Structure 1
Amino acid sequence: MKIFQNLTVRVLIAITLGILTGYFFPETASKLRPLGELFINLIKMVIAPIIFLTIVLGISNMGDLKKVGRVGGKALLYFEIVTTGALIIGLILANVIRPGDGVQTNAVKGGDISKYTEQGAGMDWTEFFLHIVPSNAIKAFAEGDILQVLVFSILFGIGLTRMGESGKPLIQTFERISKVFFNILNVVMVLAPLGAFGGMAFTIGKYGLSTLLPLAKLMGTVYATMFLFIFVVLGLLLRYYKISLWAVLKFIKEELLIVLGTSSSESALPQIMDKLETLGCSRSVVGLVIPAGYSFNLDGTTIYLVMATVFLAQVFGVDLTLGQELTIIGILMITSKGAAGVTGSGFIVLASTLTAIKVIPVEGLALLLGVDRFMSEARSITNIIGNTVATIFIANNENEFDRERYNQVLRKQNKNELAEYKY
């Protein structure tokens, strides 16, 4: 049937089968992690080249280097304002709903958190900011360090732009290479349902739905907060430019489902860049905002970090003063920016924050181990929606958004949906 040719349908079916497999056959499902990781690795294989080519071509087509600096400056300002807003919203709702009240520390099965606490306590944030600039460009590509690739790509794009007419043959070559990589991406996306199935089956099989019960209130609070943030804050930002958030979410639904299945926002990064160009955002804005956003605009991660911190304070009966809560916001404004480039980032950054505050037991992280994987889906989805909205907002602000193309895409999407619905 034609409906099964739709990637969205196939991924939905894969996620459903993954949940059922994890629930009924947990031992088998817990061994399916390689399927999800294989798909994510295939995506990561093309992320660095696609980011490089998109940024270089975007800057070279923009031509005006002052404009490059202006767009980058606006993006960083936007990131700081919105992520700070996310922190404040998370802090307020955590204090109002108080998900940590009544949770017994012995009611939740803990785990080994030593690797997180050691890394968190030893994190050098000066070193992190120095790490932004690659000492070896080839190493940055080899390790898939998005932020370092971003910096090198911007400098390369500026250097190419300064060549003027003599650089056009190289630009044309890059255009052709870019098409090759997006063709590779199209081939890889055929395996998206397999990756979503493996990732979801592993999560349910490994951690089990029973781990959610003791911390159900925390999970519900985190999910509700992210829901409000997306549909109120981000929705209002798009409404300012008369763009429907719901229409945008429908347009990127396949990417959102892939993120849901794999618990990784990186698994949809190249597709989101392509989709945003298709939607009407200029390549230059997409190339600058999306890669930078993956390090500096992690709305879902910041909400989770502040709510998890306040949750642990409530569990251990630590009555945080206003000054201490403001300190938490200040610390997380810095530490959350390092979450993208650190393995096990949520726990390591949270451990670093608790170590800096010195009033909440770091050992409390063991309470969150069982449900962290389930909350990572919410974090990843919120992060990718936040970066999508940021790109559209800045593109409109820079008059780099093709409104006619946007309307055409939505009309075509509605016709396609109607055609599929008949089947």
Structure 2
Amino acid sequence: MILGIAVGAIMGEKAAIFAPLGNLFLKLITMLVIPLVFFSIISGAASLGKTKSAGKVGFLTLAYYLVTSAISVLIGIGAGSLFKPGLGVTVPEALLTDSSVYTEAGKVAGFWDTIIGIVPNNPFESLITGNILQILVFSLFFGICLASLDEKKQKPVLDVLSTVNDVLIKMVEKILLLAPFGVFGLMANSIAVFGIDILTLVLKLFIVFTIALSTIHFGMIPGLVALFTGISPLKFLKTLAPAQILAFSTASSMATLPVNTRCCEELGVDNTTASFVLPLGATINMNGNAMLYGLIAMFFAQMFGIEIGASQFVAIVLTSVLGAVGTAGVPGPSLLVVAVLAAAGVPVIALPLVFGIDRILDMMRTSTNTLGDASCAVIMDSIIKREKKEALAN
């Protein structure tokens, strides 16, 4: 990334000769977005369907994760609207003209037309045209219905889906090996196209991201714990500190799972509850990611002068929340940003600016993701114990 910035600054417009390197990398990533979303969400939704066996706790856990993810998206959108990190750079006229195509593609007449529009007439046509929202809805519905079948009928289908999903993730891993070359080409070309001033916007984006993430990390999550359990925010954050440090270092919710479980147990959470809630959270709860998707959509919309209407607003929230289901195991979580931008009708041409700083963003948001998992475990444990106490009293 730094080399790409340096080459772009030194060579100026001539640095555009490196654009093919970056464009190839971006096309390889984009190539996998549709199949990855399709298969991973079916697998994820089918797995989630099994939570019905956990009864009320399973339902409440799922509801908590989805609602907090939606709130996180709104915080990202709100931060982007308030601080406007995407303003302050001159975008070439040709790119502004091209972006109008995305604006029109993302527009739907109104709220109810948007809701109706996310249901596909033909799911295969949606796959071909790349309609992300329709693909999300069909995949989610298919996965939930698959989970309702008896296990004997489920297994062969789930085995195939799981294998295909594993192959796609392996493809992503191989493509990400080209990231140093791709990011170099993309950054060099971005500096050539937008000028060195674009780095100011990247810095603004990082600052706004930090503010929005801190709002979730130190405000929303500990606040919910205090509201539902009475545990003070300071005690909650202090006890979870070891898990937060590991999550930040590894950028992996799964790798943090054992430490996160131990920290929750120190807060009095029963191991049975933690063993159910935390792995599920590591799979679908992406508070930090969801916030980032909303913020980036606003960032690029402002950059290209695109006004986000009601339809795009709904598209951003739905794609960010539903897209988290089943895609947590995908390397480089910012891959889903492509899907969110496409659903909202925002061009992806400047996405390299985010890829360049994605590693540090990933470390930060993973820390918030795991804190969100822990908050759910603490709250669910409190609800279970309260109900047991009430049952004994009666």
Bin the TM-score by the shorter chain: 0.5 to 0.7
Cα pair distance change 1:59/1:108, threshold 3 Å: closer
Q: Report the secondary structure of 1:345's partner residue.
A: coil
Question: What is the CA-CA distance between 1:39 and the residue it aligns to?
Answer: 1.8
C-alpha separation in 1, matches of 2:51 and 2:78: 37
Once the two structures are superposed, the pairs formed by residues 213-362 of structure 1 within 5 Å of their partners are 221-231=204-214, 233-234=216-217, 237=221, 240=237, 242=240, 245=244, 247-252=246-251, 275-280=252-257, 285=281, 288-289=284-285, 298-301=293-296, 304=299, 334=314, 337=317, 340-342=341-343, 345=346
Q: Which amino acid aligns with 1:392?
A: T
Is the 1:150–1:292 contact (alpha carbons within 8 Å) kept by the matching residues of 2?
no
Is the 1:86–1:299 contact (alpha carbons within 8 Å) kept by the matching residues of 2?
yes
Partner of 1:186: 173
What is the percentage of aligned positions where both structures have the same residue?
18
Q: Report the secondary structure of 2:7's partner residue.
A: helix
Cα pair distance change 1:304/1:49, threshold 3 Å: closer
Cα pair distance change 1:132/1:154, threshold 3 Å: same
Q: Which amino acid aligns with 1:229?
A: A
Is the 2:183–2:355 contact (alpha carbons within 8 Å) kept by the matching residues of 1?
no
Deviation digits for residues 74-110 of structure 1, max 9, x if unmatched? 344223433444455566667xxx999xx9xxx9687
Partner of 1:392: 370
Is the 2:6–2:188 contact (alpha carbons within 8 Å) kept by the matching residues of 1?
yes
C-alpha RMSD of the superposition? 4.8
C-alpha separation in 2, matches of 1:148 and 1:291: 23
Is the 2:80–2:208 contact (alpha carbons within 8 Å) kept by the matching residues of 1?
yes
Question: What is the CA-CA distance between 1:155 and the residue it aligns to?
Answer: 1.6
Is the 2:297–2:341 contact (alpha carbons within 8 Å) kept by the matching residues of 1?
no
C-alpha separation in 2, matches of 1:192 and 1:16: 13
Q: Please tell me whether residue 174 in structure 1 is matched to residue 170 in structure 2.
A: no
Cα pair distance change 1:179/1:158, threshold 3 Å: same
Deviation digits for residues 26-52 of structure 1, max 9, x if unmatched? 344213223223223323333344434
Is the 1:289–1:391 contact (alpha carbons within 8 Å) kept by the matching residues of 2?
yes
Cα pair distance change 1:329/1:191, threshold 3 Å: closer
C-alpha separation in 2, matches of 1:396 and 1:198: 40
Q: Please tell me whether residue 46 in structure 1 is matched to residue 41 in structure 2.
A: no
Partner of 1:141: 127
Deviation digits for residues 268-295 of structure 1, max 9, x if unmatched? xxxxxxx44444387755665569966x
Cα pair distance change 1:119/1:164, threshold 3 Å: closer
Partner of 2:115: 129
Q: Which amino acid aligns with 2:172?
A: L
Aligned positions, number: 310
Question: What is the CA-CA distance between 1:199 and the residue it aligns to?
Answer: 0.9
TM-score normalised by structure 1 residue count: 0.55
Cα pair distance change 1:284/1:28, threshold 3 Å: farther
Q: Which residue of the other structure, out of 163, 188, 203, is the alignment partner of 1:201?
A: 188
Q: Please tell me whether residue 111 in structure 1 is matched to residue 109 in structure 2.
A: no
Is the 1:36–1:198 contact (alpha carbons within 8 Å) kept by the matching residues of 2?
yes
Question: What is the CA-CA distance between 1:163 and the residue it aligns to?
Answer: 1.6
Deviation digits for residues 391-416 of structure 1, max 9, x if unmatched? 5355435549xxxxxxxxxxxxxxxx
C-alpha separation in 2, matches of 1:136 and 1:115: 28
Q: Please tell me whether residue 77 in structure 1 is matched to residue 67 in structure 2.
A: yes
C-alpha separation in 1, matches of 2:33 and 2:102: 27
| Runs of 5+ consecutive residues of structure 2 not aligned to the other structure | 223-235, 258-276, 320-339, 379-394
Question: What is the CA-CA distance between 1:196 and the residue it aligns to?
Answer: 1.0
C-alpha separation in 2, matches of 1:331 and 1:162: 32
| Runs of 5+ consecutive residues of structure 1 not aligned to the other structure | 1-14, 253-274, 313-327, 348-368, 401-423
Q: Which amino acid aligns with 1:234?
A: H
Question: What is the CA-CA distance between 1:202 and the residue it aligns to?
Answer: 0.8
Cα pair distance change 1:276/1:156, threshold 3 Å: farther
Partner of 1:4: none
Cα pair distance change 1:285/1:164, threshold 3 Å: farther
Q: Report the secondary structure of 2:178's partner residue.
A: helix
TM-score normalised by structure 2 residue count: 0.59
Question: What is the CA-CA distance between 1:134 and the residue it aligns to?
Answer: 2.7
